[in-house]
């Protein structure tokens, strides 16, 4: 009797164990070309002499290794930096024919399977003044456009941004100053002292004018696309006003509660065009106000602010060379430098492959391989547990440990889709894993679990399981070039852009009588059909803005929940109301706040930035 019970216990244990399979994936060290990350290929074109993008060159750069200018290393890339120099339009609107020309470049990028980092400027060369011995590099007048012209041009470009948001990785603020770097400007203040040697700072009006340009660009660029600014202080001044301190305690970085919303705070990232040049990265971490704290204090504040904010925003740029001798800063951490250490600290997603290779070449044979692999995100599954079989109409579960070994999280929306493909017939079923992959932070592991309900009329048989990390834009969904390849040594299907999960699920011919209506459904159509197709939102008004002691919410939501959140993610108020409600802000500190209005009826969420005086 004891033997019989023991045998029954062993059989029951084996049956339970056989219900699931655990898979450990082998990690790859391959330099994988994935969307929105890595070394980029720089291109520049002038309105006065347009040079179109070459589709064949962009395809070749994505599929084959090439040696960048003055480099001792090779790269492949899916990112293209596109400089549009509007030199013909400093004093005129952009011609409609040139707007068409710009759109042709976006179409070329889409055909080539790449994404673009965009910047507009008016002058891309410095002009020394032979008559002025104190000005040997960039001397006024510089040649950029005034604010009225810039705002006009941004309004004209809005249609371009909207039409081609699918192939825009991010947009840089640009427009102001030489190279569009918000320095050496005729109209927005000149902290270099070139115009007035006694004025090596920016005034409150200068900051307001710059913030107006940034605001205009944020309104023109689609809300799911990030806009990068050149200096951390630009973001602080925009969010907290022209008197904002560089101190992160007073002008804080965003937190997880604000990240990846469509708020302005969540959409502003950074580009550093003098990465590793001196302690301040050649002015990147400098305070451009008058009467500032000491340089060491400002450096610590601005580096700390950017390090925390960049956990949730896109960061990239290029190195530059400040000294005639090679400083230790430009070397890898293993040699006492800060190159790869700063990329980790500031969550770098991309770098220029061409400039400056007097710097980049120092990383070859030391940390260059790690830089190539880990710029941006680098995703893999550590371990996964899958159910082995399921009856039609019943539920099955999956669990995967998603690991991001990269320097940064993703910065653009992306689908996470489970695909079941019948080995015999090829019929596919699709399941939405309902997770935002931008939440997979750098150097972290996240458990991705879901339970799906199979259709009662599902075709019985054996199904291969795939993970599809497709682009969220319908125009790119079916393009493998825009899908994410996991860093596994096996399992990538280059023809479809699917990641093979190396597991087979058996769907039995039995039909379950169990109800699983509240569980995620498998569908016969891809989940992309429901992306970017939300219902028309109800009308919501929030006024006044800026705010003194109160603001009013007036809308058609009944009832709704209101949250008032600061830029670091701290919720100051949560309350409910309907139709019209007044919010008391008299006790709130001055600064920027996100107002989140959530419908308790139809799940619509309205987000709006307010400024508290």
CATH assignment at residue 94: 3.20.20
Which CATH number characterizes residue 491's domain?
2.60.40.770
Same domain, 492 and 425: yes
**For residues 236 and 240, what is the distance between their CA atoms, to the nearest angstrom?**
6
Q: Are residues 362 and 331 both part of a single domain?
A: yes
- Average pLDDT score, the chain: 90
Q: Which residue in this structure is represented by tokens 């970017």? A: 532
The tens digit of pLDDT for each residue in 476-493 reads 999 999 999 999 999 999
DSSP 8-state code for residue 348: E
- Residue 598's pLDDT is 74
Summarize the confidence of residues 464-469 as an average pLDDT.
98
Q: In what order do the strands lie in the sheet with 20-24?
A: 20-24, 379-387, 395-404, 444-453, 520-521
Burial grade of 518 (CB within 10 A; 0-12, 13-18, 19 or more): exposed
pLDDT at 277 over 60: yes
pLDDT at 539: 64
Tokens matching residue 371: 């830089």
Residues 399 and 278 in one domain: no
pLDDT at 337 over 70: yes
Per-residue pLDDT tens over the stretch 49-59? 999 999 999 99
Same domain, 488 and 588: no
Position 437 confidence tier, pLDDT thresholds 50, 70, 90: very high
Q: Give the 3-state DSSP-derived string for 368-432, with helices as H, strands as E and coil as C.
A: HHHHHHHCCCCEEEEEEEEECEEEECCEEEEEEEEEECCCCCCCCCECCEEEEEECCCCCEEEEE
Tokens of 375: 């710029």
Question: 294 and 417 share a domain?
Answer: no
Whole-number percent of the chain with pLDDT over 90: 74
**What's the total number of domains in the chain?**
3
Residue 44 domain-assigned? yes
Claim to verify: residue 287 and residue 197 sit in the same structural domain: yes
DSSP state of 481: G
What's the confidence (pLDDT) of residue 557? 59
Which CATH number belongs to the domain containing residue 583 in this structure? 2.60.40.3080
Confidence bin at 324 (pLDDT 50/70/90) = low
Does residue 133 lie within any of the structural domains? yes
Residue 599 pLDDT = 66
Listed in sequence order, the residues at least 6 apart from 474 whose beta carbon sits closer than 8 Å to its beta carbon are 528, 529, 531, 532
Q: What is the pLDDT at residue 120?
A: 98
Q: Which of 19-28, 151-160, 250-259, 524-533 has the lowest mean pLDDT?
A: 524-533
pLDDT score for 495: 96
Confidence class for position 142, pLDDT limits 50, 70, 90: very high
- Asked whether 62 and 481 are in contact (CB, 8 A), the reply is yes
Rg over CA atoms, the chain:
27
463: containing domain? 19-29+379-530
Do residues 300 and 424 share a domain?
A: no
Does residue 77 sit in the same domain as residue 140?
yes
Q: Please indicate, yes or no, whether residues 506 and 553 belong to a single structural domain of this protein.
A: no
Domain boundary among 479, 511, 530: 530
Name beta bridge partners: 463.
422, 505
Among 355, 374, 393, the domain-final residue is 374
Residue 482, helix vs strand vs coil:
helix
pLDDT at 196: 86
7 in a structural domain: no
d(C-alpha 219, C-alpha 313), whole Å? 18
Which residues face 21 on adjacent strands?
386
Whole-angstrom Cα distance, residue 49 to residue 79?
Answer: 23
118 pairs with which residues across the strands? 82, 171
Contacts of 432 (CB under 8 A, 6+ apart): 415, 416, 417, 418, 520, 527, 530
Identify the CA nearest to 356 among candidates 71, 99, 594.
Answer: 71
Final residue in a domain of this structure, among 374, 403, 434: 374
Task: Decide: 382 and 502 in contact? Cβ < 8 Å.
Answer: no
Say whether pLDDT at 403 is over 90. Answer: yes
Establish if 4 belongs to a structural domain: no
| Exposure b/e, 291-328, CB count within 10 A at least 16 = b | eeeeeeebbbbbbbbbbbbbbbbbbbbbbbbbeeeebe
pLDDT of residue 199 exceeding 60: yes
58 shares a domain with 147: yes
Are both 317 and 392 inside the same structural domain? Answer: no
Higher pLDDT, 605 or 72: 72
The candidate with the shortest Cα–Cα distance to 594, out of 575, 607, 577, is 607
pLDDT at 530 over 80: no
pLDDT of the residue at 537:
45
Q: CB-based contacts of 291: which residues, under 8 Å, 6+ apart? A: none
User: What span, in angstroms and rounded, lies between the C-alpha atoms of 308 and 256?
Assistant: 11
Residue 8 maps to a domain: no
Q: Is 28 helix (H, G, I), strand (E, B) or coil?
A: coil
Please tell me whether residues 105 and 235 are part of one structural domain: yes
Domain assignment of residue 3, yes or no: no
**Both tokens assigned to 80:** 């293209």
Q: Which range has the worst mean pLDDT, 109-113, 212-216, 276-280, 527-531?
A: 527-531
Q: CA end-to-end span of the chain, whole Å?
A: 82
Rounded Cα distance between 223 and 268, Å, is 11
Q: What is the pLDDT of residue 534?
A: 34
* 426 falls within a domain: yes
Rounded to an integer, the average pLDDT of 535-544 is 64
pLDDT given for residue 8 in this prediction: 33
In a domain, 2, yes or no: no
Positive or negative, the Cα torsion across 333, 336, 342, 348? negative
């Amino acid at each position: 009797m004891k033997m019989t019970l023991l045998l029954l216990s062993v059989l029951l244990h084996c049956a339970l164990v056989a219900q699931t399979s655990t898979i450990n994936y082998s990690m790859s060290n391959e330099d994988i070309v994935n969307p929105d990350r890595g070394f980029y290929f720089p291109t520049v074109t002038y309105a006065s002499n347009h040079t179109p993008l070459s589709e064949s060159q962009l395809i070749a750069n994505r599929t084959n290794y090439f040696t960048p200018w003055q480099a001792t290393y090779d790269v492949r890339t899916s990112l293209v930096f596109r400089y549009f120099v509007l030199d013909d339009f400093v004093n005129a609107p952009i011609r409609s024919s040139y707007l068409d020309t710009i759109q042709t470049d976006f179409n070329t990028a889409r055909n080539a399977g790449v994404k673009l980092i965009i910047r507009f400027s008016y002058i891309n060369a410095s002009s020394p003044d032979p008559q002025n011995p104190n000005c040997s590099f960039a001397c006024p007048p510089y040649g950029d456009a005034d604010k009225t012209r810039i705002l006009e041009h941004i309004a004209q470009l809005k249609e371009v941004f909207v039409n081609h948001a699918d192939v825009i990785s991010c947009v840089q603020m640009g427009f102001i100053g030489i190279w569009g770097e918000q320095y050496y400007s005729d109209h927005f203040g000149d902290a270099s002292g070139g115009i007035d040697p006694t004025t090596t700072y920016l005034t409150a009006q200068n900051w307001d004018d710059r913030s107006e340009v940034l605001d205009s660009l944020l309104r023109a660029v689609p809300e799911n696309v990030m806009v990068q600014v050149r200096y951390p202080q630009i973001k602080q001044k925009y969010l907290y006003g022209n008197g904002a301190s560089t101190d992160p305690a007073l002008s804080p970085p965003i937190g997880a509660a604000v990240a990846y919303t469509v708020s302005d705070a969540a959409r502003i990232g950074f580009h550093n065009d003098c990465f590793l040049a001196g302690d301040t990265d050649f002015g990147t971490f400098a305070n451009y106000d008058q009467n500032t704290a000491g340089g060491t204090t400002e450096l610590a504040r601005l580096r700390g602010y950017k390090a925390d904010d960049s956990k949730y925003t896109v960061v990239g740029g290029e190195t530059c060379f400040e000294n005639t001798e090679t400083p230790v800063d430009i070397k890898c951490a293993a040699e006492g430098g800060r190159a790869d250490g700063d990329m980790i600290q500031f969550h770098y997603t991309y770098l220029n492959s061409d400039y400056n290779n007097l710097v980049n070449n120092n990383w070859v044979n030391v940390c260059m391989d790690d830089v190539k692999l880990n710029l941006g995100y680098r995703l893999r599954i550590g371990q996964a547990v899958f159910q082995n079989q399921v009856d039609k109409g019943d539920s099955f579960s999956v669990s995967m440990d998603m690991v991001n070994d990269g320097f940064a999280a993703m910065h653009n929306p992306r689908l996470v889709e489970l695909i079941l493909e019948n080995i015999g017939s090829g019929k596919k079923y699709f399941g939405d894993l309902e997770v935002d992959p931008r939440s997979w932070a750098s150097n972290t592991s996240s458990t991705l679990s879901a339970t799906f309900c199979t259709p009662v009329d599902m075709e019985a048989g054996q199904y291969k399981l795939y993970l599809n990390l497709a682009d969220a834009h319908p125009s790119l969904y079916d393009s493998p070039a825009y899908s994410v390849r996991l860093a596994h040594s096996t399992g990538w299907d280059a023809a479809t852009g699917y990641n093979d999960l190396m597991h087979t699920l058996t769907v039995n011919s039995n039909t379950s009588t169990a109800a699983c209506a509240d569980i995620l459904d498998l569908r016969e159509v891809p989940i992309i059909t429901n992306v970017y197709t939300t219902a028309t939102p109800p009308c919501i008004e929030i006024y006044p803005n800026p705010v003194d002691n109160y603001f009013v919410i007036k809308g058609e939501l009944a009832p709704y929940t209101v949250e008032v959140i600061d830029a670091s993610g701290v919720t100051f108020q949560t309350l409910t109301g309907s139709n019209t409600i007044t919010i008391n802000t008299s006790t709130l500190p001055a600064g920027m706040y996100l107002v989140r209005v959530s419908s308790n009826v139809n799940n619509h969420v309205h987000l709006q930035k307010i400024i508290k005086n």
